[in-house]
Amino acid sequence: MSENEKDLDLLEDETEEECFEEEEEEYTPTSPAEEKIEELTKELRKLKDMHLRTAAEYDNFRKRTQKEKEALFAAVQADTVAELLPIVDNLERAMAVENITLEDLQKGVSMIMSESAKVFERLSVESFGEVGEQFDPNIHNCIGTSDDSDVESGCISMVAQKGYRIGQKTIRPAMVQIKN
């Protein structure tokens, strides 16, 4: 086997990747256009790498933010339930009493309502929907009309169920009756 045939066999045995590496190392631009192509190719590789890194960072940020949001939701939910537990405890104690007078029952319910109002205040929950208020379809559900002469037209004449909100967010609209 001649010297040239050995070289050809060696070349055939090399992988494609090795060939490309050799070509990159050995290649030198011969014209200004080729130099510009080489420069732009390097810049493209750099920008692709930067893009991939930015995409990976964004994905990590998105996942981290989602985990933080879930953890915050769980913490807020637990804090809210903790605030409501004294009310549940009082209701359970009231249910455990066997021989109770109507007066004691009313007093107990009044105490539980007072405790509920304190909890709502700590949670920044406000009630709305009082007789005489101007009807607002954004926060009130009208369940009927009346001819009550004690209130102005378009105002609430009866409240079937109070509404509740936290700040500007309505938790539950008030169910009301309005004057024609």
pLDDT of residue 5: 53
- Measured between alpha carbons, how far is 154 from 159 in angstroms, rounded to an integer? 14
2-34: pLDDT as tens digits: 555 555 454 445 444 454 444 455 567 678 889
* Sequence ranges of the domains in the chain: 48-123, 127-180
DSSP track, 35-56: HHHHHHHHHHHHHHHHHHHHHH
Is 0.85 surpassed by the pTM of this model?
Answer: no
pLDDT digits (tens, 9 = 90+) for 95-136: 898 888 999 999 999 999 999 999 999 999 999 999 999 999
The yes or no reply on domain 127-180 and CATH 3.90.420.10 is no
